[in-house]
Amino acid sequence: MSGVSLPKRLMVFALVALLALAPSVLLVQAAEEPIVIGVAVAQTSNVALFGQEQVIGAQIAEEFFNERGGINGRPFRLAFADTGGDEAGAINAFQTLINRENVVGILGPTLSQHAFAADPIADQAGVPVIAPSNTARGIPQIGRFIFRVSAPVSLVAPSAVKQALKMNPDIKRVAVFYAQNDAFSVSETGTFQQTVKDLGLELLDVQTFQTTDTDFTTQITNVLPLEPQLVIISGLAADSGNLVRQLRELGYKGMIVGGNGLNTTNIFPVCQALCDGILVAQAYSYQYDSEINNAFREIYKAKQGKEPPQFSAQAFTGIQVFVEALSRLDKRKPLKDMDLVTLRAELRDEIMNGKYDTPLGPISFVETTKDDGTPAGGEIVQERFYVAQIKMDPDGKTGRFVFLD
Mask: binding to ligand 1QQ, 69-108, rule CB under 6 A, as x and -?
----------------------------------------
Closer CB to ligand 1QQ, 65 or 184, in the complex: 184
- Which residue, among 205, 149, 199, 142, has the nearest Cα to 178 in the 3D structure? 205
Q: Are 258 and 240 in contact (CB under 8 A)?
A: yes
Closer CB to ligand 1QQ, 111 or 127, in the complex: 111
Residues in region 273-332 near ligand 1QQ by CB under 6 A: none
- Which residue, among 108, 149, 58, 128, has the nearest Cα to 360 in the 3D structure? 149
Smallest separation (angstroms) from ligand 1QQ to the CB of 380: 13
Q: Are 153 and 178 in contact (CB under 8 A)?
A: no
Segment near ligand 1QQ (CB under 6 A); pick from 55-63, 128-136, 202-210, 213-221? 128-136
Q: Which of 43, 52, 83, 135 binds ligand 1QQ (CB under 6 A)?
A: 135
Q: How far apart are CA 107 and CA 129, in angstroms?
A: 6
Judged by CB under 6 A, does residue 110 bind ligand 1QQ?
Answer: yes
Residues in region 345-404 near ligand 1QQ by CB under 6 A: none
Smallest separation (angstroms) from ligand 1QQ to the CB of 73: 35
**H or E segment at 368?**
strand 361-369
Q: Are 390 and 278 in contact (CB under 8 A)?
A: yes
Residues in region 177-206 near ligand 1QQ by CB under 6 A: 184
Smallest separation (angstroms) from ligand 1QQ to the CB of 139: 8
Smallest separation (angstroms) from ligand 1QQ to the CB of 240: 9
Q: Are 378 and 351 in contact (CB under 8 A)?
A: yes
**Total residues binding ligand 1QQ (CB under 6 A):** 11
Smallest separation (angstroms) from ligand 1QQ to the CB of 236: 6
Smallest separation (angstroms) from ligand 1QQ to the CB of 125: 22
For the beta sheet containing 129-131, the strands, ordered from the edge strand earlier in sequence to the opposite edge, are 76-82, 35-41, 106-107, 129-131, 146-148, 375-382, 361-369, 355-358
Judged by CB under 6 A, does residue 112 bind ligand 1QQ?
Answer: yes
Mask: binding to ligand 1QQ, 235-264, rule CB under 6 A, as x and -?
-------------------------xx---
Name the burial class of residue 240, with classes exposed (0-12), middle (13-18) and buried (19+) by CB atoms within 10 angstroms of its CB. Answer: buried
Q: Distances from the Cα of 181 to the Cαs of 187, 346, 362, 396, 405, in angstroms?
A: 11, 36, 34, 30, 33
Bridge pairing between strands 129-131 and 106-107: parallel
Positions touching ligand 1QQ (CB under 6 A) are: 50, 110-112, 133-136, 184, 260-261
